[in-house]
Amino acid sequence: MPADSQRIFPVDDFVKEGLYPGYRQAFGSQPFVAGPVRPFSLADNERYWLRDSLHFSEGMVPASIATLDDAQTWGAQLGAEIVGVPPTRGSVNRLAGTHVYIGTIDVDTPWQVQARAARFGQYVSPILADFDSYWAMRAAELTAAYEHFDNLDLSAMPPAELWTVLKDAYAFHRRAWFIHFEVMYVLTANYLAFYALAEEIGLSGSQVSAFLAGQQTFYGRTDEELWRLAGLARSLDVTAPLTHSDPASMRAEIAALPRGKAWLSEFDAFLAVYGQRTEETCRVDTPSWIEDPSPALYAIGGFLAKPAGFDFHNARSAAIAERDAQIDEARRHVNGGDLRRFNEALASNQAANFAWWNEEHNYLIDRRAAIPVRRATLELGARLAADGRIERPDDMFFLFKPELFAAMESGGGTSWQELAAMIPDRRAYFEHWRERGPSLPTMLGTIPHTVPDPIMIEVFGLSGHFLETLRGDGSGGDGTGEEGTEIRGFPAAKGVVEGVARVITTVTDLHSVLPGEILVCGGTTTEWTPAFGIIAACVCDTGGSLTHAAIVSREYGIPCVVGTAVATQVIKTGDRVRVDGRAGTVRVLA
């Protein structure tokens, strides 16, 4: 295909008038700065839309679409506007059925770019000058809010007070996501400036992320505790239920063992500290680990299949040694003024470390911010179910936020009977699209030659090669999965390994990954982290130097290639593959 040609993956099959059966968006029903969440229209063929399986692999129920509004629309757009990111006004979403596609709102006039750049520098410089204090202030704000919501006795509240709590929870969710994108745009800009400097002085920009490795995160500590619990299970002889039972019956089976209660006491203490997390971003229909500890129990069971365990101390020491060696090597290749600039940029990025923050913040925002909304929604749903207005509490997740607000504030003017009647069709609609999820295209609309938004490049991996592969004018593999097929991506973590592939499309199937396998997926986020202690390598369709898979693979010392665009299409479970994390290649061997 000629280099200047365009390729379009039509959105036509996904064009709809409404987001869900029985619901039409009213003007002003959704908060946004530059563009709302909505279904695809034919006009969307003129832009690119990346499927965000990285964060939303199974689709969104109506209530979760409200929290998506707060995140990749309102939060991203307000963050970009206030920070003044020069080339972008943030991101915007379209839905293919219930599945999320993300696009960007580019700034396309020279004056606006220049004006935003001037404002951007004034906003960012004071934050970068003392990032620790700045992030501590934001983290304290978030933590104080969680302490407030977590300590509320919702069951004892009168209806009016409960309704106020739910509105407060929604307001906090929006605030949390503004903080998220404010910080992310600041750190991304600092990182990209270092990347550009590296390229300018003769280094490889792709090295920069490795210069920032080795810092402990909350999710690293979570994994260490899960491995400790696996070792404790062996010493207390409670491994059988953890490796052979269904999580629904696992607790009772463990408690029946002679030392089972001692292990459960330690597990409950773990959940009290690490359990306030959901398995997907913005999903209010997804329980936290405290509500449903199945993901943690599955992880522990998987760890028990690797008797040697995982040596976190050695892995971290090796990551730090590799980081320092790469920094020393880079310094040997530059001198004079270039060396001074390199050292200044390195110090700035180590102090305001995106590679660290991009993992650390998830516990305070991405995997936790929806939990207060969820708790209040379920309590309200329990009362409505008791009154016979809905069938069961989680029916509430199939109501849109404007519908819920109208019903609660109408004083009886909105019919709960009409709302309840739509819920079965909406459940069926969600399940239909959840099943279709694995077959949906990676990108829709017009595939661009370049993408100016820095987050889309470094987190989602919309690099030149990724876009070339989707356009068909790059070497991304022939899509057959036959022996000898090679696909290319971003070299995220070095090392070469051969092994059997395990292709996973949603995090709910993560428990099927076996020790020593090579994980092949659309992309990973923090809930996938436990798998990195047992897999031999990781390969992703999406992702750049600052994506979760790249960061965690470097910390765990396993090869990783991200941003392949086609790995889950080309590779099948059971294929034997070779992953070269330094070259950024993956070859199907047999």
Give per-residue pLDDT as tens, 10-43: 999 999 988 999 998 876 666 667 788 999 999 9
| In contact, 525 and 281? CB cutoff 8 Å | yes
What does the angle CA 293 – CA 294 – CA 300 come to, to the nearest 5 degrees? 95
pLDDT band at 4 (very low <50, low <70, confident <90, very high): low
Give yes or no for residue 411 having a pLDDT over 70.
no
* Residue 237 φ/ψ region, left for φ over 0, alpha for ψ in the -120 to 50 degree band, beta for the rest: left
Domain annotation covers residue 140 = yes
d(CA 278, CA 366): 9
Cα dist. 520→114, 269, 486, 531 in Å? 41, 33, 14, 12
Q: Which of 484, 481, 497 is nearest to 572 (CA)?
A: 481
Domain annotation covers residue 344 = no
| In contact, 395 and 381? CB cutoff 8 Å | yes
d(CA 547, CA 493): 12
d(CA 371, CA 393): 15
How many Cβ atoms are within 10 Å of 410's Cβ, its own excluded? 10
What does the angle CA 381 – CA 384 – CA 387 come to, to the nearest 5 degrees? 150
**Which helix (H) or strand (E) is 465 found in, with range?**
helix 464-471
pLDDT band at 1 (very low <50, low <70, confident <90, very high): very low
Torsion sign across C-alpha atoms 524, 526, 530, 534:
positive
Rounded to the nearest 5°, which phi and psi values hold at 576? Answer: -90, 125
Provide the pLDDT for residue 455.
Answer: 79
Which has more pLDDT, 420 or 546?
420
Longest dimension (CA), the chain: 76
d(CA 331, CA 335): 7
- Say whether both 235 and 300 belong to one domain: yes
- Say whether both 12 and 123 belong to one domain: yes
| 3-state SS, residue 242 | helix
d(CA 581, CA 562): 9
Domain annotation covers residue 537 = yes
d(CA 284, CA 64): 5
Give yes or no for residue 478 having a pLDDT over 50.
no
- Say whether both 142 and 30 belong to one domain: yes
Give yes or no for residue 480 having a pLDDT over 60.
no
Give yes or no for residue 5 having a pLDDT over 90.
no
Give yes or no for residue 436 having a pLDDT over 90.
yes
Taking residues 268-274, what's their average pLDDT?
Answer: 97
- Say whether both 76 and 174 belong to one domain: yes
Torsion sign across C-alpha atoms 76, 81, 86, 92:
positive
- Say whether both 239 and 165 belong to one domain: no
Give the list of residues 6+ apart from residue 427 with CB closer than 8 angstroms, or none: 398
| In contact, 488 and 564? CB cutoff 8 Å | yes
Domain annotation covers residue 31 = yes
Give yes or no for residue 441 having a pLDDT over 50.
yes
- Say whether both 172 and 294 belong to one domain: no
- E runs forming strands in 205-314: none
Taking residues 340-359, what's their average pLDDT?
Answer: 95
Domain annotation covers residue 345 = no
pLDDT in tens, 172-193: 999 999 999 999 999 988 988 8
| 3-state SS, residue 438 | helix
Taking residues 48-74, what's their average pLDDT?
Answer: 92
- Say whether both 290 and 377 belong to one domain: no
In the predicted model, what is the mean pLDDT of the chain? 91
| In contact, 99 and 199? CB cutoff 8 Å | no
Provide the pLDDT for residue 2.
Answer: 46
pLDDT band at 481 (very low <50, low <70, confident <90, very high): low
Overall number of domains in the chain? 3
Taking residues 372-378, what's their average pLDDT?
Answer: 98
Provide the pLDDT for residue 25.
Answer: 81
Scanning the structure block, which residue is given the tokens 């006004």?
A: 89
pLDDT in tens, 447-473: 998 888 877 888 888 888 889 888 886
pLDDT in tens, 548-561: 999 999 999 999 99
Taking the alpha carbons at both ends of the chain, their separation in whole angstroms is 29
- Say whether both 184 and 225 belong to one domain: no
Taking residues 266-272, what's their average pLDDT?
Answer: 98
Give the DSSP letter string of 117-158.
Answer: HHHHHHHHHHHHHTHHHHHHHHHHHHHHHHHHHHT--GGGS-
How many Cβ atoms are within 10 Å of 587's Cβ, its own excluded? 16
Residue range of the domain that includes 509 = 461-588
d(CA 177, CA 364): 10
**Which helix (H) or strand (E) is 520 found in, with range?**
strand 518-521
**HEC string of 6-20?**
CEEECCHHHECCCCE
pLDDT in tens, 376-403: 999 999 999 999 999 999 999 999 999 9
Helix axes 260-274, 294-304, angle to 10 degrees: 120
Give the DSSP letter string of 319-388.
Answer: HHHHHHHHHHHHHHT--HHHHHHHHHHHHHHHHS-HHHHHHHHHHHTTTTTTHHHHHHHHHHHHHHHHTT
Scanning the structure block, which residue is given the tokens 């960061």?
A: 551
What does the angle CA 413 – CA 419 – CA 423 come to, to the nearest 5 degrees? 170
d(CA 475, CA 461): 16
- Say whether both 470 and 537 belong to one domain: yes
What does the angle CA 293 – CA 299 – CA 304 come to, to the nearest 5 degrees? 125
Q: Specify the CATH number for the domain of residue 572.
A: 3.50.30.10
Give yes or no for residue 86 having a pLDDT over 80.
yes
Burial of 144 (0-12, 13-18, 19+ CB in 10 A): exposed
What does the angle CA 370 – CA 39 – CA 104 come to, to the nearest 5 degrees? 75
Q: What distance lies between CA 193 and its chain's CA centroid? A: 24
Rounded to the nearest 5°, which phi and psi values hold at 490? Answer: -85, 130
- Say whether both 465 and 435 belong to one domain: no
- Say whether both 124 and 27 belong to one domain: yes
Domain annotation covers residue 377 = yes
Scanning the structure block, which residue is given the tokens 């919501």?
A: 149
Domain annotation covers residue 357 = no
Domain annotation covers residue 2 = no
Give yes or no for residue 414 having a pLDDT over 80.
no
Torsion sign across C-alpha atoms 274, 279, 283, 286:
negative
Rounded to the nearest 5°, which phi and psi values hold at 356? Answer: -75, -50
Q: How, if at all, do strands 38-39 and 88-96 pair?
A: parallel
pLDDT in tens, 222-263: 999 999 999 999 999 999 999 988 888 999 999 999 999 999
Say which amino acid occupies 359: E
- Say whether both 18 and 147 belong to one domain: yes
